[in-house]
Amino acid sequence: MKLHHILPVFLFLFHLQTAHAQQELLLHQQNGLWHASALNPAFFPSGKRVALGGPSYGLDAAHSGDVTYNDLLRKQGDRTFLDVGNAIGKLEPNNDVFYDQRFETVSLGLRLGAWYLQAGHAVRVNTAINYPKALAELFWYGNGPYVGQTLEIGFAVNTASWNELHLGIGRRFGDKLTLGARAKFLSGIGAMQTDDSRRQIRALTDSDIYQLSLATDYAFHSSSIVSGIDTAGLTYDLALNEIKNKFADNTGVAFDFGLQLQVSERLSVSASVLDLGGSISWKKNARYFHSQGTFEYNGIGIPGTDILNGTTDSLDFGAALDSLNDVLQFQQTDSEFTTTLPTRIYVGGSWKLTERWVLGAVLHHFNSPRRTATSVGVNAHWSPLKWLTVGGMYSVNDRSAANIGLSIVARPGPLQLFILSDNVLNAVTPYGSAAVNFRFGGALVF
């Protein structure tokens, strides 16, 4: 049957990763780091004039429930195996996968008196997937165990990756208030977005003699990610990432705004809204894939008269199986579409307790078409050495009320190196955790 050819679909789901929204609470509270300016355009390292940001990678990913990376993937020698069987028992009837990835390649900041200027480039991926447990079961165990059951296997995907070029400006007003703004030019790399009004793939293996029926009204937009679906030869192959979008093919804009208020010598508060109005219009290589209909396969129907008359004297299962493969045919048309960037809001505050200790609190709100989430955290930073700061955080989010974060920031000379996670236990055992959050990077500040 070569049903394993649907592997690309499944891998696609999980390659988009275990994830959730990029909250980065601890980074927001490290406003002395250059890379913190990504979360608030009003941030600029105190007392520095020039900042040269190096690569920084951040990942915030989560799978609903307790499914972990190690549940899905296991190492055996030098080989890695996808073993969905371990995860299926932990799946809910409906499951969410979130994945936010930010890779800042380079950035530059300048302080010119009361003005700040900044520019940079990043590659970002934002993904939200909702899939039914039945899909994983059908893929992994086949349809045999589900005879007589109607399986809803339609899944929803909103994913987009894009290049982000930004230019920002900030100004300090007096000694207390700093305002910043940033404009982003977005260049789409690839996107896939299911049509929420067409998300039905209903599979039934009849308990009679296992007649197969598939009712579909399923559609998705895609640019670059899926460029074709080939059902020939008993396979179900997706043409993935075969068409590359050029830089100016699919574009959009987004805006960030932020402020920082030094309320007193010890207390400062900040707020920012990121990716406001952000969207990308996908015009090139933009296709709409649609499968609609009811497909049934009842085996070879042999008219009784043909048997009796001897006009059908052969049971050719091979030919029948060939036709079975065409049950989920997609019609594809050129169709432009738009993806929107999730909007994020940060509100935070810090209280400088001593020269070595800083206490803080932060709230993060995330809003996307598929998900809205809010998290709050309280943190403490300790600087045992002038160039070393260690931070801890307790935060609550929609997944867990017991997240312990940890940050380590080293500032040897002009170098800033940092690694932090809002959930350090998951970060140090990312493959055994249902959620992963970490960010690391480096910069030179002068």
Partner 1 sequence: MAFKNWLRLLIPALLAIGLYSACNKAGLNDVEIAERSAEYAFPLFSTTIGLQELMLTVLNDTLSGDTIVVNPDNTMTLYYSGDVAEKPATDIFEFFKFPDAPIPVADTFFRFPFNVPDSVYIHRADVLAGTLNVIINNKLSQPITGTFYIPQMSKNGQVFSHPFSVAAGQLSISPPLDLSGHLLLSDSNTLDFRYEAYTPDGVRVVLPESSPGIPGMGLLLNGFTLSYVEGYWGYSEYPLTLDTIDIDINQTDLKGDVRVKDPKVIMTVSNSWGFPTRGVVKYLSFIGQDGLEYKLESSVFFGDSIDFNYPSLAAGEVGQTKYTDIVLDGSNSNIADIFNAQPVQLVYEVAGISNATKDPTIEGFLTDKSTIALRMRVELVLEGSVQDFGAEQTLNLNFGDYTDLDTAKIEEVEFKLVTENGTPIATALQLYFLDETGNALDSLFVGAPQFIMEAPPIDANGIAIGSKRTETFVQMDIARFDRVRQSKSILMRNFFTTAEGGLVPVKLLATQSTTVKMGLKVKMRLGGE
Using only C-alpha atoms, the chain has a radius of gyration, in whole angstroms, of 26
**Among the residue ranges 36-44, 261-269, 306-314, 343-351, the one whose residues contact partner 1 (CB under 8 A):** 306-314
Of the pair 86, 292, the CB lying nearest partner 1 is at 86
Which one of residues 205, 222, 250, 379 is an interface residue with partner 1 (CB under 8 A)? 205
Q: How far is the CB of 62 from partner 1 (least distance, A)?
A: 15
Sequence length of the chain is 446
Of the pair 142, 369, the CB lying nearest partner 1 is at 142
Of the pair 177, 324, the CB lying nearest partner 1 is at 324
Q: What span, in angstroms and rounded, lies between the C-alpha atoms of 424 and 25?
A: 12
Q: What span, in angstroms and rounded, lies between the C-alpha atoms of 405 and 424?
A: 5
Q: Cβ(325)–Cβ(235) under 8 Å?
A: yes
Residue 175 within binding range of partner 1, rule CB under 8 A: no
Matching residue, tokens 């050719």: 316
Task: Quote the tokens at residue 3.
Answer: 């049903």
Sign of the torsion angle spanned by Cα atoms 139, 223, 339, 69: positive
Q: Which of residues 235-294 bind partner 1 (CB under 8 A)?
A: none
Which one of residues 246, 385, 432, 446 is an interface residue with partner 1 (CB under 8 A)? 385
Task: Quote the tokens at residue 299.
Answer: 């085996």
Q: Cβ(40)–Cβ(346) under 8 Å?
A: yes
CA 235 distance to own-chain centroid: 28
Q: How far is the CB of 186 from partner 1 (least distance, A)?
A: 24
| C-alpha triplet 426, 275, 106: angle, nearest 5° | 70
Residue 7 within binding range of partner 1, rule CB under 8 A: yes
Number of residues that bind partner 1 (CB under 8 A): 70
Which one of residues 93, 175, 304, 401 is an interface residue with partner 1 (CB under 8 A)? 304
Q: Cβ(22)–Cβ(39) under 8 Å?
A: no
Which one of residues 185, 257, 394, 431 is an interface residue with partner 1 (CB under 8 A)? 431
Of the pair 163, 421, the CB lying nearest partner 1 is at 421
Residue 14 within binding range of partner 1, rule CB under 8 A: yes
Q: What span, in angstroms and rounded, lies between the C-alpha atoms of 83 and 78?
A: 16
Which one of residues 112, 263, 267, 302 is an interface residue with partner 1 (CB under 8 A)? 302
Of the pair 354, 429, the CB lying nearest partner 1 is at 429
Neighbours of 78 (CB within 10 A): 5
- Cβ contacts of residue 78 below 8 Å, gap of 6+? none
Give, as one character, the DSSP assignment of residue 423.
S
Interaction pattern, residues 36-75, with partner 1; x per rule: CB under 8 A:
---------------------x-----------x---xx-
Residues that bind partner 1 (CB under 8 A): 1, 3-4, 7, 11, 14-15, 57, 69, 73-74, 79-85, 140-145, 147, 205-206, 208-212, 234, 297-305, 307-309, 313-321, 324, 385, 387-388, 408, 410, 412, 415, 417-419, 427, 430-431, 438, 440
